[in-house]
Amino acid sequence: MKNRLKKVEPKKTRQTDRNRPNLLIMRFLLLGCVWISVFGCDKTLHTATNLLPASVSADNLVPEALRIIEAGLADADPQVRANAIEAAAATKQIILMPKIQRLLEDEVVPVRFLAILAVADLEYSLAKGQVQQLLKDPDENIRIAAAYAMTKFGHLEHLTVFRNAIASEDQTVRANAALLLGKSGNPDVLKLLYWALQRKDSSDKVRFNAVEAIAALGDERILPKVWAIVYSGYADDRIVGIRAMGAMKTAKAKDVLITKLDDDILEVRLAAAEQLGKLNDPIGEPEVLEVFEKNLITGLDKKDVERVKVLTALAIGQIGTDTLKKFLPQLLKDESKPVRIAAAKAVLQCSTRKNNR
């Protein structure tokens, strides 16, 4: 991997659906694309040699990480609440589930949607009765999320609810149905996902969710489509493709991810490093380290600074080397709430990995 391009160039991004909230939360919550606000954090990252000890134990940071996520669950900003739910669910923080259960009644639909998914994925049975009531919610997105949760509690008859929703005329409902079908783990839904992918009336968000869902279900026939997205001219698309490649967990997918460590766009390189770390390959460590050692966020606007910091934290959480973990304390103290939550998630991931060895 010699002679890598290290340029940080302006990104070419899609504008479709970028200016209004939607329920494609699982894709973009911690990428700064749709749901993350900008908090004005335009300071450069400092090197660990100046500020931090030679090594940092993730276990020592766990109390602070939990405090940050807990505070996020009660934040006035629904975007922050959503971020905190995702972080708690991804790191299986059962201790925080009573607070997430309260968010099943949140006034903001995307927050309720994510709270239901957290209950489902952690199989938090204490909230089962409340979720069952949400099967009658006025919002179809909430109804299909509740149906997904009920299948996780063993009531497989509810699978038909989000199976049928893949044909919805509402593009957000269709996209979320694709997401839930992928999370179901049932290969029998592949034909429905391919149907949504091939429909001319499916929006980009539907197609991207369908591609990632198919990849998560392990169908290698989707590889050419994922490959095309990974090499799209749009940086945001490439990040979606990288996530799908990571979901495939194959040797071919890993080889493609390694090539994206050469991408001209910093955020794309960080996303590739994160997915490779998720596949237990730390080869992307140098890309993450350079964010700190070369101050690669210098000259970026505030929104992009936050995006880079979030992606950096997420990559550290998956790679988890001692070299990178020593940067987590400063990220936990960042001015941006999404950055702090991403760093808290990384701390919990690193701690769990260490304790499982």
DSSP string, 107-140: SSHHHHHHHHHHHHHTT-GGGHHHHHHGGG-SSH
Q: Mean pLDDT over all residues of the chain?
A: 87
Stretch 131-136: mean pLDDT, rounded?
98
What Rg do the C-alpha atoms of the chain give, in angstroms?
Answer: 19
Q: Domain limits of the chain? A: 33-356
pLDDT digits (tens, 9 = 90+) for 302-339: 999 999 999 999 999 999 999 999 999 999 999 999 99
Give me 51's structure tokens.
């500020």
**What is the C-alpha separation between 176 and 164, in angstroms, rounded?**
12
Q: What is the pLDDT of residue 32?
A: 36
pLDDT-wise least confident of 9-18, 101-110, 160-169, 208-217: 9-18
Query: In terms of Cα–Cα distance, which of 37, 1, 33 is closest to 234?
Result: 33
Contact 59, 354 (CB under 8 A): yes
Q: Which CATH number fits domain 33-356: 1.25.10, 1.10.10, 1.10.520, 2.30.30?
A: 1.25.10
Query: Is the pLDDT at 10 greater than 60, yes or no?
Result: no
Which residues, 6 or more positions from 169, have their beta carbon under 8 angstroms from its beta carbon? none
Helix, strand, coil percentages, rounded to 5, for the chain: 70, 0, 30
Q: What is the pLDDT of residue 13?
A: 55
Query: In terms of Cα–Cα distance, which of 219, 134, 148 is closest to 178?
Result: 148
Q: What is the pLDDT of residue 26?
A: 39
pLDDT digits (tens, 9 = 90+) for 64-115: 999 999 999 999 999 999 999 999 999 999 999 999 999 999 999 999 999 9
